[in-house]
């Protein structure tokens, strides 16, 4: 059987480049359309993209001509699946137009994350929410599945096994977020060198609302939020890639740090059972050294090779005496791989493995 043809919207940006890199030799998907803004349309990808990854730009894609982000141009290329890394203000209209044209959209953008019939998906965490696409398919012909904000994703992965085993009452998180999370032109160097910026617009609200949808249930055609209290404080730091988060939580049942660490490192889910190409063998890697995880050392964690950057790395799991049944730990998650393109590709692999596309 031939590969599924895919297009990438926003292919020249921080996240778009991660797609181009990860899809260069994908066993199931073939890139047939690369799209970007009007300023890039008609240029070769190698002229339009300011390539920042250390692996060379894939030769085949370097020569491809950038097309417009319209359903007719994307469908004209033969693509059935569209990965969207558009700015969110453009994404709302464009992604819906693509779904209404019968395309299957997997989006990293925030535009449709909280829509009542759109799954907000991390395949290891809430695989069953995929059922919601059938309602959309009846309405539009195509559908949209979204991945969470890059800050929510590692947090949700680390919390899922704790939620299953011990229950969770309350979560507080303080983040140290990488520069690539703001896009290529996001934070001027004069603002961030020798500095920390203690504000990221709308980020704290997104972490709280998205986490509750992801850790909640999908019953009788409706999403129901998890009953957990969530508070977040988000900060931009001078790190290139990889969001670090200090997490504090109250479990329902008492649990020792060793029990929490064990349930995280034992955690596997549907993508591992299905042996999907981009699924990390261990979604959570727990490190015992007192000074890990660190972005430079740990952001590309995950095996096999295709899953590098897909594992959430957790360290310093310990008791928090200031909370009831309190536990605290530090996590690291690669924001443009697991936090965006890698998670979206894993979603598309799920859609294929389950026969939805
Ligand atoms: P970025 O580096 O600024 O890239 C934006 C991309 O969108 C570029 O390819 C740009 O093309 C294209 N674009 C801009 N305006 C357009 C328009 N009107 N029509 C069509 N294409 C247009 O942004 P990013 O960091 O990759 O983020 C992309 C999306 O992913 C955002 O919604 C962001 O919130 C989300 N996200 C980002 C991360 C992260 O860690 N960076 C993680 C999760 C989710 P040109 O090159 O031609 O300008």
Q: What's the pLDDT tens digit per position in 48-63?
A: 999 999 999 999 999 9
Query: Are residues 105 and 145 in contact, defined by beta-carbon separation less than 8 angstroms?
Result: yes
Q: How far apart are CA 261 and CA 263, in angstroms?
A: 6
98 in contact with ligand 1, CB cutoff 6 A: no
Q: How far apart are CA 200 and CA 236, in angstroms?
A: 7
Domain layout of the chain by residue ranges? 4-149+341-353, 150-334
Residue 1 has pLDDT above 90, yes or no: no
52: tokens are 């920042």
180 in contact with ligand 1, CB cutoff 6 A: yes
102 in contact with ligand 1, CB cutoff 6 A: no
39 in contact with ligand 1, CB cutoff 6 A: yes
332 Cα to the center of ligand 1, angstroms: 23
- pLDDT tens-digit readout, 121-154: 999 999 999 999 999 999 999 999 999 999 999 9
Indicate the pTM of the whole model.
0.97
Residue 65 binned pLDDT confidence (cut-offs 50, 70, 90): very high
Query: Are residues 23 and 345 in contact, defined by beta-carbon separation less than 8 angstroms?
Result: yes
Average pLDDT over residues 283-292: 98
- The residue contributing the CA closest to ligand 1 atom 24 is 183
pLDDT value of residue 183: 86
Q: How far apart are CA 122 and CA 280, in angstroms?
A: 13
pLDDT value of residue 185: 85
The alpha-carbon radius of gyration of the chain (Å, integer) is 19
Angle at 213 between CA 212 and CA 218, to 5 degrees: 130
User: CA dist 204 to 162, 180, 241, Å?
Assistant: 22, 18, 19
- The residue contributing the CA closest to ligand 1 atom 28 is 85
DSSP-derived secondary structure letter, 55: S
Kindly give the number of the ligand 1 atom that is closest to the alpha carbon of 16.
Answer: 26
47: tokens are 């002229």
256: tokens are 């020792």
- The residue contributing the CA closest to ligand 1 atom 37 is 181
Average pLDDT over residues 341-347: 98
pLDDT value of residue 191: 96
344 Cα to the center of ligand 1, angstroms: 15
86 in contact with ligand 1, CB cutoff 6 A: yes
Residue 272 binned pLDDT confidence (cut-offs 50, 70, 90): very high
pLDDT value of residue 184: 83
86 Cα to the center of ligand 1, angstroms: 4
User: CA dist 221 to 4, 23, 133, 136, 211, Å?
Assistant: 28, 33, 10, 11, 19
Q: How far apart are CA 9 and CA 110, in angstroms?
A: 14
Q: How far apart are CA 45 and CA 67, in angstroms?
A: 10
37 Cα to the center of ligand 1, angstroms: 9
Residue 210 binned pLDDT confidence (cut-offs 50, 70, 90): very high
- The residue contributing the CA closest to ligand 1 atom 38 is 181
346 Cα to the center of ligand 1, angstroms: 20
95 in contact with ligand 1, CB cutoff 6 A: no
Residue 72 has pLDDT above 80, yes or no: yes
Catalytic residue annotation: 150, 243
Pick the CATH number of 4-149+341-353 from 2.40.40.20, 3.30.300.250, 3.40.50.720, 2.40.160.20: 3.40.50.720
pLDDT value of residue 154: 98
Q: Which helix (H) or strand (E) holds 135?
A: helix 133-140
Q: Which residues pair with 338 in a beta bridge?
A: none
Q: Which residues are within 8 A (CB) of 157 and not within 5 positions of it... i.e. 6 or more apart?
A: 122, 124, 125, 283, 284, 312, 333, 338
Residue 222 has pLDDT above 80, yes or no: yes
pLDDT value of residue 117: 95
Average pLDDT over residues 64-91: 97
pLDDT value of residue 356: 94
146 Cα to the center of ligand 1, angstroms: 15
pLDDT value of residue 115: 96
Q: How would DSSP label each residue in 344-355?
A: HHHHHHHHHHTT
Kindly give the number of the ligand 1 atom that is closest to the alpha carbon of 40.
Answer: 47
Average pLDDT over residues 102-113: 97
Q: What CATH code would you report for 150-334?
A: 3.30.360.10
Q: How far apart are CA 115 and CA 117, in angstroms?
A: 6
- The residue contributing the CA closest to ligand 1 atom 39 is 181
Q: Which residues pair with 28 in a beta bridge?
A: none
pLDDT value of residue 39: 98
Torsion of CA 156, 315, 306, 345, to 10 degrees: 10
Q: How far apart are CA 115 and CA 111, in angstroms?
A: 9
14 in contact with ligand 1, CB cutoff 6 A: yes
Q: 40, 41, 45, 85: which to mutate for ligand 1, most atoms within 8 A of CB? A: 85
Kindly give the number of the ligand 1 atom that is closest to the alpha carbon of 66.
Answer: 47
Q: Which residues are within 8 A (CB) of 357 and not within 5 positions of it... i.e. 6 or more apart?
A: 4, 80, 81, 104, 348, 351
21: tokens are 């890199």
Query: Are residues 35 and 67 in contact, defined by beta-carbon separation less than 8 angstroms?
Result: yes
- Whether residue 70 is preceded by a cis peptide bond, meaning omega within 30 degrees of 0, is no
335 in contact with ligand 1, CB cutoff 6 A: yes
174 Cα to the center of ligand 1, angstroms: 25
Query: Are residues 84 and 108 in contact, defined by beta-carbon separation less than 8 angstroms?
Result: yes
């Amino acid at each position: 059987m031939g590969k599924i043809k895919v297009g990438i919207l926003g292919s020249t940006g921080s996240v778009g480049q991660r797609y181009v890199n990860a899809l260069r030799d994908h066993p199931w998907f073939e890139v047939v359309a690369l799209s970007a803004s009007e300023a890039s349309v008609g240029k070769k990808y190698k002229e339009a993209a300011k390539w920042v990854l250390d692996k060379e730009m894939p030769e085949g894609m370097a020569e491809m001509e950038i097309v417009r982000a319209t359903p007719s141009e994307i469908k004209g290329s033969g693509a059935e699946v569209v990965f969207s890394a558009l700015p969110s203000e453009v994404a709302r209209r464009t992604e819906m137009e693509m779904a209404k044209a019968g395309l299957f959209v997997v989006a990293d953008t925030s535009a449709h994350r909280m829509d009542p019939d759109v799954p907000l998906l991390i395949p290891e965490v809430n695989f069953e929410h995929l059922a919601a696409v059938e309602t959309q398919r009846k309405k539009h012909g195509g559908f949209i599945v979204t991945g969470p904000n890059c800050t929510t994703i590692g947090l949700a992965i680390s919390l899922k096994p704790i939620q299953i085993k011990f229950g969770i009452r309350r979560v507080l998180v303080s983040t140290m977020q990488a520069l690539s999370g703001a896009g290529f032109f996001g934070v001027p160097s004069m603002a961030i060198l020798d500095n920390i910026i203690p504000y990221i617009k709308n980020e704290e609200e997104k972490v709280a609302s998205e986490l509750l949808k992801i850790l909640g249930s999908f019953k009788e055609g409706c999403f129901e939020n998890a009953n957990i209290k969530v508070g977040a404080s988000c900060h931009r730091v001078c790190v290139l890639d990889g969001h670090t988060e200090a997490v504090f939580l109250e479990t329902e049942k008492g649990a020792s740090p060793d029990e929490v660490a064990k349930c995280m490192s034992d955690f596997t889910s549907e993508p591992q059972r299905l042996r999907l190409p981009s699924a990390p063998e261990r979604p959570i890697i727990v490190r015992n050294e007192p000074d890990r995880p660190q972005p430079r050392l740990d952001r590309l964690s995950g095996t096999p090779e295709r899953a590098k950057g897909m594992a959430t790395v957790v360290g310093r799991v310990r008791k928090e005496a200031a909370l009831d049944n309190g536990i605290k730990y530090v996590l690291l998650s690669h924001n443009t791989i697991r936090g965006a393109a890698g998670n979206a590709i894993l979603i598309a692999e799920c859609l294929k493995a389950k026969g939805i596309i």
